[in-house]
Chain A
């Protein structure tokens, strides 16, 4: 049976979709079967980030409403054979995702895939709760910034109360993915430190993804950053995070800490 991961945050624009695509592709590159699922009904984006927007025929709502079979809706990645996308629909009907329908889709996906990664919409409403409902593991995406940390705290509370795991009295495995981390600002003392965020949210750290132009470039060409430029700093951070998700013990490094005095003086404007 596959493992279900929800990528969630409460706040929008923190890097959930970017992280879903990057982690999905990183796990698929380990030869595991991966499905990434877009729960952002009405505002789908994962298809664009994966570069599959022109190949969407059916979506998750079509499957739930019985207009398409699951295999018809799954889009195989052009670069990685064992990476699949289940797109969200563009319907404005918020009730298009039903709890029963989502449960059926999740159970089917779990039989075919090793990993099912659910990209959550922003907010704490229906879409977000349905995305986390069946999760075994939660990746809480947080930016080192006050409003993002506060929203993550809310989401952690929901993960501990509104999920199937929580209702069964089991413990939800939660990991913090700190994204858009800017080492220059951290050095200046104008950004919450990694330790601060960890202490406040008190869940274990899965990884630190640096703020980087490489993420923007990857989205421009329509590829997860772990495929677009596997040697870039954000890609390497995502690869490490994926290894930790798979149970490997990989030491955490804080991006940008190795820069010398030269970088400190001249690197600021460039970053």
Chain B
């Protein structure tokens, strides 16, 4: 039976591999999203203690590489922002 099976059924492992790659890249991304929104909130809170910033002018991005992730923080502070503390 095993010999015939070999010819009849397509190998399933390559499909498993493909499905996993798609799924995990998606899941890793959404885990990063949770972390990024958390970081965003806390970073905003820290900055707001000292300078007035527009929440929309804070860009936070995470790039997940194989060994390290890079967190990019881009904050636009207007020239005339009210400085609360020196």
A residues bordering B, Cβ < 8 Å? 145-146, 149-150, 153-154, 157, 161, 186, 188-193, 196, 200, 202, 268-269
Which residues of chain B have C-beta atoms less than 8 A from A153's C-beta? Answer: 24, 27-28
A268 to B6, CA, bound (A): 12
A253 to B63, CA, bound (A): 35
Q: Which of A146, A154, A188, A268 contacts B19 (CB 8 A)?
A: A146
Partner-contacting stretch, out of B8-16, B39-47, B54-62, B75-83 = B8-16
CB within 8 Å for A149 and B28 given contacts A188-B6, A190-B12, A190-B13: no
Q: Which of B6, B20, B27 contacts A146 (CB 8 A)?
A: B20
The answer on a CB contact under 8 Å between B6 and A192 is: no
> What 10 additional pairs, Cβ within 8 angstroms, besides A161-B35, A190-B11, A268-B2?
A149-B24, A153-B24, A153-B27, A157-B28, A188-B11, A189-B11, A190-B12, A193-B13, A196-B16, A200-B17
Q: Is B37 an interface residue (CB 8 A)?
A: no
A149 to B22, CA, bound (A): 13
Ordered by A's residue number, 28 sampled pairs between the chains whose C-beta atoms are within 8 Å are A146-B16, A146-B20, A149-B20, A150-B23, A150-B24, A150-B27, A153-B24, A153-B27, A161-B35, A186-B13, A188-B6, A188-B11, A189-B11, A189-B12, A189-B13, A190-B13, A191-B13, A192-B13, A192-B16, A192-B17, A192-B20, A193-B13, A196-B13, A200-B17, A200-B20, A200-B21, A202-B66, A268-B2
Q: Is B85 an interface residue (CB 8 A)?
A: no
Q: Is B84 an interface residue (CB 8 A)?
A: no
Q: Is the interface of B mostly helix, strand, loop or mixed?
A: helix
Q: How many residues of B contact A (CB 8 A)?
A: 18
A150 to chain B, nearest CB (A): 7
Which residues of chain A have C-beta atoms less than 8 A from B66's C-beta? Answer: 202
Which residues of chain B have C-beta atoms less than 8 A from A149's C-beta? Answer: 20, 24
A75 to B24, CA, bound (A): 41
Residue in B6, B13, B16, B21 with the greatest tally of chain A CB atoms within 10 Å:
B13
Q: Is B86 an interface residue (CB 8 A)?
A: no
A153 to B31, CA, bound (A): 11
A184 to chain B, nearest CB (A): 9
A189 to B13, CA, bound (A): 6
Which residues of chain A have C-beta atoms less than 8 A from B14's C-beta? Answer: 189
A126 to B68, CA, bound (A): 27
Residue in A154, A188, A191, A193 with the greatest tally of chain B CB atoms within 10 Å:
A188
Residue in A145, A157, A190, A202 with the greatest tally of chain B CB atoms within 10 Å:
A190
Give the 9 A-B residue pairs with the shortest CB-CB distance, closest first. A189-B11, A196-B17, A146-B16, A189-B13, A190-B12, A268-B2, A153-B24, A192-B13, A200-B20
Which residues of chain B have C-beta atoms less than 8 A from A191's C-beta? Answer: 13
A188 to B24, CA, bound (A): 25
A203 to chain B, nearest CB (A): 10
A268 to B27, CA, bound (A): 37
